[in-house]
Amino acid sequence: MTHEKQIQAFLGGLDDTHREGFMAYAEHTYSVVEIWLYAGVLGYEGSFSALEKWIAQTYPKLNRKAILLAESVKLEGDIDFLRQQVQMDLVSAADAASKIAHLSKELRSHLVEIDKMTKAADRKGLVMGGADRVLRELKAIFKGNEDLMNALDLASESVWAMLADEG
């Protein structure tokens, strides 16, 4: 089954409220992993790669971390270039010192931001992944009890909403 068919089957099985909620979540959420976990809460049983391809086609995401990393590399290059110009007496040391200090400060702020993004994504992904695993295990344990399964489904959606809102 193609990735498009997997996603269409999943979306077709949702009621209008859940489908619209999922589509909005997929559009506004940066993390493909978080979207996949939420899809699992809603009953998605397809592959991660199918969902990832569908998201890339339907809701392309800006990779802010990659942009910051690329800018950091450019800043390092600019700092090295200025140092070389000073060594070749093309730029005065006084002028270069001010420019290097400014570029170094900008580089440090980029590195701090990259670190924050990585830590926040890792923490949230671990928490959401753990919650998803617990809920899936509970559903597997109580598979035959329809009343309990309905309660677990409602609890899953509530837990998911709470975790997603913690941002």
pLDDT per residue as tens digits for the range 48-70 = 888 889 998 999 877 788 888 88
Determine the pLDDT at residue 46: 83
| Cα separation, 7 vs 123, whole angstroms | 27
Determine the pLDDT at residue 74: 92
- 3-class DSSP state of 76: helix
Determine the pLDDT at residue 60: 87
For the chain, list residues with pLDDT below 70: 1, 121-122, 164-167
This model's pTM is above 0.75:
no
| Cα separation, 142 vs 157, whole angstroms | 17
Contact between 96 and 86 under an 8 Å Cβ cutoff? The reply is: yes
Q: What is the pLDDT of residues 68-88, one digit of tens each?
A: 888 999 989 999 999 999 899
| Cα separation, 100 vs 106, whole angstroms | 10
Determine the pLDDT at residue 167: 55
Determine the pLDDT at residue 11: 92
